[in-house]
């Protein structure tokens, strides 16, 4: 945990997640962020299983960025997953972080 490049900011933002599944079928799902960084996010309410390295596109408002899955966790008794994402591109401020103050407990995670 101490190897993080950026502090996490707790933020629940509605996002659209799109990509292709392992069979090559396109999907579009709605999810929400749990916390964000300038180059990544942790998403909740994911209803499909992802593998490490899977490519996804995440859209928040008019901002869209390409990510890869770097972490997954099944939520017990909920049929949902959480996934950790790292941005593939150097999109400038995909979340509008410049306008969001850092939470005081961002370093506690």
Tokens 């999109």, located at residue: 91
CA distances to 14, 34, 59, 95 from 62, in Å: 12, 19, 7, 10
Q: Who's near 36: CB < 8 A, 6+ residues apart?
A: 8, 9, 11, 13, 42, 95, 97
Residue 1 has pLDDT above 50, yes or no: no
> What pLDDT, on a 0 to 100 scale, did the predictor assign at position 109?
42
Give the residue, 105 or 83, on which the prediction is more confident.
83
> What pLDDT, on a 0 to 100 scale, did the predictor assign at position 57?
96
Which of 1.20.1260.10, 3.20.20.80, 3.90.105.10, 2.40.10.220 is the CATH number of 9-90?
2.40.10.220
pLDDT level of residue 100 (50, 70, 90 thresholds): low
Note the pLDDT tens digit of each residue in 27-66.
999 999 999 998 899 999 999 989 999 999 999 998 999 9
In three state form, how does the secondary structure of the chain look?
CCCCCCCCEECCCEEEEEEECCCCCEEEEEEEEEEEECCEEEEEEECCCCCCCCEEEEEECCEEEEEEEEEEEEECCCCEEEEEEEECCCCCCCCCHHHCCCCCCHHHC
Tokens 């370093």, located at residue: 107
- Of 13-22, 60-69, 99-108, give the lowest mean pLDDT range: 99-108
């Amino acid at each position: 945990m101490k190897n993080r490049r950026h502090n996490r900011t707790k933020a629940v933002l509605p996002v659209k997640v799109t990509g292709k599944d392992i069979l090559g079928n396109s999907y579009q799902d709605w999810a929400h962020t749990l916390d964000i960084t300038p180059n990544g996010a942790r998403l909740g309410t994911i209803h499909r299983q992802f593998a490490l390295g899977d490519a996804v596109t995440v859209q928040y408002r008019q901002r869209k960025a390409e990510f890869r899955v770097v972490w997954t966790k099944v939520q017990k008794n909920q049929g949902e997953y959480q996934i950790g994402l790292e941005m593939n591109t150097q999109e400038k401020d995909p979340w509008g972080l410049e306008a969001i103050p850092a939470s005081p407990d961002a370093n506690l995670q």
